[in-house]
């Protein structure tokens, strides 16, 4: 093998080897399929052998391709660790943490982590959805985010570590003069005939739009027509007020002048939030975030589902299967 083989070529090879499908592998790496195919062909030329048998119906590893897999994985793991740990002058680099907005679960966990480890540097990012943040994590431009993992492409999720943090209670943001604004809680059935903004048209928030669609199905609630991504709190307030939208939200939400947040009930719909990070990432800040998230979940009952709650089956499976041993992690947190 050439001494200067580009790790990108090995990453492309490894993705195809795991998926045995060029289209899925390209989606997993967020690259065009043609670019992925070029990388694989270039690696084959460098090695002087075919790595895959391609037909119109299937992709399979050749014997040389199968032999390369474990070596490629070890090289990529070492490369990821180097990229994650290197900072210059022997100091751990800042950890880039997406919290989506200044309020909510991610922001609360980040604030707790900064208080718990004042010597570490956690740099906040504000990406509007986990789908967009996951793409940045896979690309190495972001380290950690928070959101609904069941809404991610399985190929993307396979490259992420994730820990359940909270069941956020869903709510609706209404004009103060809306017919339902006088209620302390709004029954989901009362939204029949209403149209709510759910970020349709913003690819970065696809997991939220999907959750809304599951909640609305069969209940006579409509999603507002797709609209371009709304960047920033000030612009969100301007657009929502101008268009007169009601908004599907969580109970932790930014203040919008002239509007009120009302929790949903009957049933109580939940928005599952997990912390996610890139597999293979070695950074002490990830451990700090995981511990304080577990502490907060235990202290506030974040992972306790209220009676008569609603949650899609795929979300339930992931949240239950990946839930941490909160007691153990709390003890670990106190000991460090």
Mean pLDDT value of segment 320-329 = 57
For residue 326, the model assigns a pLDDT of: 47
Does residue 277 lie within any of the structural domains? Answer: yes
For residue 86, the model assigns a pLDDT of: 53
Phi, psi of 305 (to 5 degrees): -80, 130
For residues 129 and 180, membership in a common domain is answered with no
CA distance 176 to 288: 40
For residues 161 and 173, membership in a common domain is answered with no
Q: Model confidence at 322, in pLDDT bands (50, 70, 90)? A: low
High-pLDDT (> 90) share of the chain, % = 73
- For the chain, what is the mean pLDDT? 90
**Of 240, 268, 296, which residue constitutes the final position of a domain?**
268
CATH, residue 55: 1.10.10.10
For residue 91, the model assigns a pLDDT of: 63
For residues 34 and 74, membership in a common domain is answered with yes
Does residue 226 lie within any of the structural domains? Answer: yes
Does residue 90 lie within any of the structural domains? Answer: no
Q: Is the pLDDT of residue 177 over 90?
A: yes
pTM, rounded to two decimals: 0.71
For residues 175 and 243, membership in a common domain is answered with yes
Kindly state the tokens that stand for 306.
């209220």
What's the structural domain count of the chain?
3
CA distance 105 to 107: 5
- DSSP H or E segment with residue 161: strand 160-175
For residues 240 and 173, membership in a common domain is answered with yes
For residues 47 and 62, membership in a common domain is answered with yes
Q: Which residue intervals of 87-147 are DSSP H helices?
A: 105-116, 130-138
* DSSP-derived pairing of the beta strands 59-61 and 52-54: antiparallel
**Structural domain that includes position 140:** 95-167+270-335
For residues 293 and 163, membership in a common domain is answered with yes
Residues facing residue 258 across a β-bridge: none
CA distance 327 to 279: 24
CATH, residue 224: 3.40.190.10
Spatial contact of 147 and 276, defined as CB atoms under 8 Å apart = yes
Does residue 19 lie within any of the structural domains? Answer: yes
User: 278-292: per-residue pLDDT in tens?
Assistant: 988 889 999 999 999
**Of 44, 67, 85, which residue constitutes the final position of a domain?**
85
Q: What is the distance, to the nearest Å, from the Cα of residue 181 to the centroid of all Cα atoms in its chain?
A: 31
User: 232-249: per-residue pLDDT in tens?
Assistant: 889 999 999 999 999 999
**Of 247, 268, 289, which residue constitutes the final position of a domain?**
268
Q: Positive or negative CA dihedral for 297, 298, 303, 309?
A: negative
For residues 194 and 243, membership in a common domain is answered with yes
For residues 53 and 81, membership in a common domain is answered with yes
Which of 248, 162, 176, 257 is closest to 205 using CA atoms? 248
Does residue 250 lie within any of the structural domains? Answer: yes
Q: Is the pLDDT of residue 68 over 60?
A: yes
User: 110-150: per-residue pLDDT in tens?
Assistant: 999 999 999 999 999 998 899 999 999 988 899 999 999 99
**Tokens 């795991």 label which residue?**
18
Higher per-residue confidence, 326 vs 26: 26
For residues 140 and 286, membership in a common domain is answered with yes
Q: What is the distance, to the nearest Å, from the Cα of residue 183 to the centroid of all Cα atoms in its chain?
A: 33
For residue 83, the model assigns a pLDDT of: 66
Spatial contact of 106 and 100, defined as CB atoms under 8 Å apart = yes
Does residue 221 lie within any of the structural domains? Answer: yes
Does residue 203 lie within any of the structural domains? Answer: yes
For residues 235 and 114, membership in a common domain is answered with no
Does residue 1 lie within any of the structural domains? Answer: no
For residues 154 and 275, membership in a common domain is answered with yes
For residue 90, the model assigns a pLDDT of: 44
Which of 280, 277, 281 is closest to 74 using CA atoms? 280
């Amino acid at each position: 093998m050439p001494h200067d083989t580009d790790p990108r070529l090995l990453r492309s090879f490894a993705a195809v080897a795991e998926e045995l499908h060029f289209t899925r592998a390209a989606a997993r790496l967020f690259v065009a399929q043609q670019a992925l195919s070029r990388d694989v062909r270039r690696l084959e030329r460098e090695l002087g052998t075919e790595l895959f048998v391609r037909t119109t119906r299937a992709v399979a590893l050749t014997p040389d391709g199968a032999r390369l897999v474990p070596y490629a994985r070890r090289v990529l793991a070492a490369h990821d660790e180097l990229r994650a740990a290197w900072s210059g002058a022997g100091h751990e680099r800042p950890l880039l943490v997406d919290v989506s907005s200044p309020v909510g679960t991610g922001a609360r966990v980040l604030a707790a982590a900064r208080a718990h480890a004042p010597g570490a540097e956690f740099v906040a990012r504000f990406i509007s959805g986990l789908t967009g943040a996951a793409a940045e994590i896979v690309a190495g431009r972001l380290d950690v985010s928070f959101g609904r993992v069941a809404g991610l492409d399985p190929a993307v999720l396979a490259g992420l570590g994730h820990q359940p943090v909270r069941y956020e209670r869903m709510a609706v943001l209404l004009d103060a003069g809306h017919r339902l604004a006088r209620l302390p809680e709004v029954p989901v059935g009362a939204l029949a005939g209403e149209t709510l903004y759910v970020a349709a048209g913003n690819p970065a928030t696809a997991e939220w739009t999907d959750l809304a669609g599951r909640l609305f199905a069969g209940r006579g609630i409509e999603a507002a027509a797709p609209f371009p991504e709304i960047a920033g709190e000030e612009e969100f307030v301007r657009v929502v007020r101008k268009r007169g939208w009601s908004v599907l939200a969580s109970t932790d939400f930014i203040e919008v002048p002239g509007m009120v947040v009302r929790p949903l009930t009957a049933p109580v719909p939940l928005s599952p939030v997990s912390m996610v990070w890139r597999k293979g990432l070695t950074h002490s800040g990830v451990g700090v975030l995981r511990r304080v998230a577990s502490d907060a979940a235990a202290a506030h009952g974040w992972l306790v589902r209220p009676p008569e709650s609603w949650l899609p089956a795929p979300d339930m499976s992931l949240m239950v299967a990946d839930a941490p041993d909160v007691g153990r992690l709390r003890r670990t947190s106190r000991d460090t």
